[in-house]
Structure 1
Amino acid sequence: MDHLVSPSLLAADFGNLQKEIQMVNRSVADWLHLDIMDGVFVPNISFGFPIIEHVKKISEKPLDVHLMIVDPDRYLTRFRDDGATNLTVQYEACTHLHRTVTEIHNLGMKSGVALNPHTPVSLLKHILPYIDMVLIMTVNPGFGGQSFILESYNKIAELRKMIDEKKFKVLIEVDGGIDTKNAAKLIQTGVNVLV
């Protein structure tokens, strides 16, 4: 499988949002990644439903939505209604993870589970059969411009082994500090989606 690219909306110039999204539409990017931050789960606030509704009207790419929020279950239907194709929740923010990913599927979306940099992948052992994607945060979530955490390579390799041993159809996505210097190594390590 070739890798996928999902550019992050956080990197956009919000003063020219329509032009930025149209540029992504014309690109070879596969998805458009939206990081939703609430200022509680992570120490920053990004954007909410009005921006997402606007993005969906313009974007020709599937919306890859990553929720870095507390109590994501309250908003699953709304994110579906606003156009999310993939909906990823944080492992650390979900009280009943199986119920959450099941509801995401029931709403017609692909489900993902994200792990903070120091959350071990072994915690996903029992949820892997029920999800479509794991998002490994390769920086501490909340702010852009951070350096890639090198230990992430080992974590990705461990996750790839877990997935391959059971022959699960689960994608590995990475987000944070991804650039031309580390993209090839990440793909070699087993990553499917680069943000």
Structure 2
Amino acid sequence: MLKEIVISPSLICADLCNLESQVRALEQAGMKSLHVDLIDPHFSPSMPIGLDMVGQLKARSSMDFDVHIMSTCNEFFINELVKMDVASITFHVEPTLHVEKMVQIIKEAGIKAGVALAPATSLATLDYVAKYCDYILLMTINPGYAGGKSEGMVPYALEKIAACRALLDQKNSAAKIVIDGRVSFEVMPEMIKAGADVLVAGSKSIFRKGYSFAENYQEAQSVIAKTLKGE
């Protein structure tokens, strides 16, 4: 049985003035997971979407909302998101004093929990929590700087994905590896081969200009199928 690779379109890459119609179009194209970034300016120089917007969109969509918190106030956002019954909540380890406790709060609410690492954050931070997580999100671009012309995928991205897969296997963790940042059609095969399970798709794939969401999703599925078959 071939491994399942999930494509999760990134909401912040959508037309922010027409989010409801964009989410409906993503859903109609066949995608079931939606990557939702919640960012505060203390963590990253960007704040495109707020809690109220997420709540309203959640009520209008049947997609699984996989929320990625980028904040210095993780516990506040976690408690608010739990009320919305999102599918999963992932938070960054960098500003978090009590990582295990945050995971516990999420899982006790019946929601899948994940921890996220910025590009240069060591995988050693996962040593004692990996087996309790449902997801490990690896940023392959510095969060909040995607708009910069010179900001590309970090050169050690594939090495880190492979190292994370090895660590999870060593810890007997069933956590899935989520990759977020510059996930293009060209690099998808290498990310999958390195151990990725979920690909957060943005401007380089699902939101590629000149094509519909359905066409881009079909292209992503074709790339995934060929990679899994070893073509």
Map 1:96-175 → 2, pairs under 5 A:
96-145=98-147, 146-175=151-180
Which is further off, 174-183 or 26-35?
Answer: 26-35
Partner of 2:191: 186
Checking the alignment, whether the CA contact within 8 Å between 2:38 and 2:71 is kept in structure 1 is yes
Contact 1:112 1:135 survives alignment (8 Å): yes
The alignment partner of 1:129 has SS state of helix
TM-score, scaled to structure 1: 0.95
Gaps of 5+ in 1: none
- Distance in 2, Cα, partners of 1:144 & 1:53: 25
Task: Figure out how many residues of one structure are paired with residues of the other and give that number.
Answer: 195
- State the TM-score, normalizing by the size of structure 2: 0.81
C-alpha change, 1:185 and 1:34, in structure 2 (3 Å) is same
TM superposition shift of 1:174? 0.5
Matches within 5 A, 1:1-195: 1-145=3-147, 146-195=151-200
**1:48 to partner: Cα distance:** 1.1
Q: Is the 8 A contact 2:12 2:49 kept in 1?
A: no
Aligned residue for 1:160, secondary structure, equals: helix
Per-residue deviation, 1:123? 1.7
- Of the structure 1 ranges 95-104 and 145-154, higher mean CA displacement relative to structure 2 is found in 145-154
Q: Deviations over 1:92-124 (max 9, x none)?
A: 021100011011101111000000000011221
CA contact (8 A) 1:53 1:83 kept: no
State the AA in 2 paired with 1:185: E
SS where residue 93 of structure 1 aligns? coil
The alpha carbon displacement at 1:71 in A equals: 2.0
Query: Quick one: distance in 1 between partners of 2:84 and 2:121?
Result: 30
Q: Structure 2: how far apart are the matches of 1:19 and 1:144?
A: 24
Identical aligned pairs, as a percentage?
30
**Where in structure 1 do 4 or more consecutive aligned residues deviate above 6 Å?**
none
Q: Which amino acid aligns with 2:56?
A: H
Aligned to 2:215: none
Q: Which moved more, 1:86-95 or 1:27-36?
A: 27-36
Which secondary structure does the structure 2 equivalent of 1:95 belong to?
coil
**RMSD of the alignment, in Å?**
1.2
Q: Which has the larger radius of gyration?
A: 2
Q: CA deviation at 1:46?
A: 2.1
The answer to whether the 8 Å contact 1:41/1:68 transfers is yes
